[in-house]
Amino acid sequence: MSEYKIAAIGDRDSVMGFRALGLEVVPAEDPEGAKAALHRLAKENYAIIYLTEGLAQHMAPEIARYKDAVTPAVILIPGREGSLGIGLDAVKTAVERAVGADIL
């Protein structure tokens, strides 16, 4: 059992609030910056990385890379522009991957 940290990546306005909760906040305005931040955080001992959907839609390969690893868990959250449905789509994809069809 060891200590892990939690981080949030996203545009400044979306993730600012997490700082109040004590999360590590990495503001990133474009997908390039977010990619770099994601890789950097994944190398350090961050167990959970929250990522806004707005950025996530441009960096699917980077997210897929961490999908099968135990750490970090990259979790998509809606940014300030509201839910884009990408997070729920990811759940659906997982079901399709496992079962072969969307059965839910």
Partner 1 sequence: MPALNVNPTRMELTRLKTRLRTATRGHKLLKDKRDELMKQFLDVVRENRELRKKVEEGLERANAGFAAAGAVMSPQMLEQALMYPKASVSLDMTFQNIMSVDVPAYHFHTAAGAVGAPYGFAQTSGELDDAVDALSEVFQDMLKLAQVEKTSQLLAQEIEKTRRRVNALEYVKIPQMQEAIKYITMKLDENERASTIRLMKVKDMLLKEAIEDRRAADQAAVETFTPPAEA
Contacts to partner 1 by CB under 8 A: 1-6, 13-14, 16-23, 47-48, 50, 67-68, 70-71, 73, 75, 77-80, 82-83, 87-88, 90-91, 94-95, 97-100, 104
| CB-nearer residue toward partner 1: 34 or 63 | 63
Closer to partner 1 at the Cβ: 32 or 91?
91
Which residues, 6+ apart, have CB-to-CB distance to 69 below 8 Å? none
Nearer of residues 32 and 60 to partner 1, judged by Cβ? 60
Backbone angles phi, psi at 98, to 5 degrees: -80, -45
In whole angstroms, the minimum distance from the beta carbon of 59 to partner 1 comes to 17
The minimum distance between CB 31 and partner 1, in angstroms, equals 20
Exposure string of 81-98, with b = 16+ CB inside 10 Å and e = fewer, is eeebebeeebeeeeeeee
- Integer Cα distance of 81 and 100 in angstroms: 32
- Which residue, 32 or 88, has its beta carbon nearer to partner 1? 88
Do 49 and 68 touch, CB atoms closer than 8 A? no
Shortest Å distance, C-beta 39 to partner 1: 18
- Reference 50, options 8, 83, 18; nearest CA is 8
